[in-house]
């Protein structure tokens, strides 16, 4: 399936804009989403870490993505 993923902070620079399109296999997990991202944009491997939020919440690596999920790349946060 083809999904849209939003990006903030340095992730926005790495993917070249606020949104990227990813081709995922059906029942892809968050872990696989990270792998696809790192393959498409090797600079993700230079980050301290990055997480994926689904529908405005952090999700574990084994969460299975379903059609309609709102995916967002969360690079290391630095508020405050």
Between 27 and 51, CB nearer to other proteins: 51
How many Å apart are CA 19 and CA 37, to the nearest integer? 12
Considering only residues 58 to 77 of the shown chain, the ones binding other proteins according to CB under 8 A are 58, 72, 74-77
Between 26 and 79, CB nearer to other proteins: 79
**Range in contact with other proteins (rule: CB under 8 A) among 8-16, 26-34, 59-67:** 8-16
- Which of helix, strand or coil describes residue 55? coil
Closest CA to 63 of 34, 39, 37: 34
How many Å apart are CA 51 and CA 34, to the nearest integer? 8
Does residue 8 bind other proteins (CB under 8 A)?
yes
Does residue 17 bind other proteins (CB under 8 A)?
no
How many Å apart are CA 37 and CA 5, to the nearest integer? 10
Q: Which residues bind other proteins (CB under 8 A)?
A: 6, 8-10, 13, 46-48, 53, 56-58, 72, 74-80
């Amino acid at each position: 399936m083809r999904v849209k993923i939003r990006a903030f902070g340095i992730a926005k620079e790495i993917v070249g804009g606020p949104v990227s399109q990813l081709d995922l296999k059906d029942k892809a997990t968050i872990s696989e989403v990270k792998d696809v991202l790192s393959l498409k944009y090797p600079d993700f491997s230079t980050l301290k870490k990055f997480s994926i939020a689904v529908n405005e919440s952090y999700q574990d690596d084994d969460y299975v993505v379903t059609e309609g999920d709102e995916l967002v790349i969360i690079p290391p946060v630095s508020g405050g």
